[in-house]
Amino acid sequence: MNLFRPYSMGEPRRDERGRLVGIDRYQDVLGRNWKRFFLTGLMTILGCLPLTVGVAYAILSSSVLVLLPAGLVGGAIAGPFLACLYDTVLRALRDAPGSWGQNYKRSLAQNARAALLPGALTGLFLGAAAFAGMMLFFWSTLRPGAVTILVYLFSWLVFLVLSTLYWPQLVLFEQRPMVRLRNALLFTVRYFWATVGAALLQLVWWALMFLFAPWTLLLLPFVGVWFILFAALFLLYDRLDKAFAIEESIARAFPEQVPPQD
């Protein structure tokens, strides 16, 4: 499954671990794991259904009182599924062995409790952002100014930066939430352009999914949830591994997850 993969010329390059690099690595990981990504994406969509229904009802009824519990409760339900989505992508990027079913059950059991609070906060932000977007662009009789639109988009960018860096730490390490946030801030400062670029890529993707709805909803079960996250983490993975010593820590704590040597 070679999505957006041009034909390469010449002998593929490899790093010191023997892994392909660049676009060849992208093709290799995606080709071996797209079925896992697809199944995990479907589970994530199912996990997010309560949040989606609750926020949609709050918007249709124009009720903030409905929005708050819908965002918090729906987000808490979606949190463990989001954690499994990040875990599945990260396992693929580090070539972890094991079947999809075994890894998914293990990830759900290990991360479900820790994912409740960040899931609830994620759901609250998504609900509030959707509600605010309806107020700005559909309900208001006045067209929003450029500054208002920029502030709205900037809030999404900050959210995507934090999500992209917070959730991997949640599924990989046992840490306090404030430590994860501090690490996310330090990582962003150190790798500013790469981090912002990965967040912008996600922002453009979801903006296009929204702008071209309902036709893009046909893509949602297939690539809508997992593909853009895989692309963002693929671009950041080497930096994440360098900053957090992901593979070294995993090999030390869970030697059974070390990929077999060719």
CA dist., res. 26 & res. 93, Å (int) = 9
HSE-up (13 A, CA, CB side) for residue 81: 23
Eight-class DSSP state of 177:
H
pTM of the model: 0.91
The tens place of each residue's pLDDT in the chain, 262 residues long, gives: 455 455 555 677 887 777 888 898 999 999 999 999 999 999 999 999 999 999 999 999 988 999 999 999 999 999 999 999 999 999 999 998 889 999 999 999 999 999 999 999 999 999 999 999 888 877 666 787 889 889 999 999 999 999 999 999 999 999 999 999 999 999 999 999 999 999 999 999 999 998 898 888 888 889 879 999 999 999 999 999 999 999 888 887 777 666 766 5
Residue ranges of the domains in the chain?
23-254
* Buried/exposed code over 230-241 (b: 16+ C-beta within 10 A; e: otherwise): bbbbbbbbeebb
Q: What angle do CA 145, 198, 76 make, to 5 degrees?
A: 80
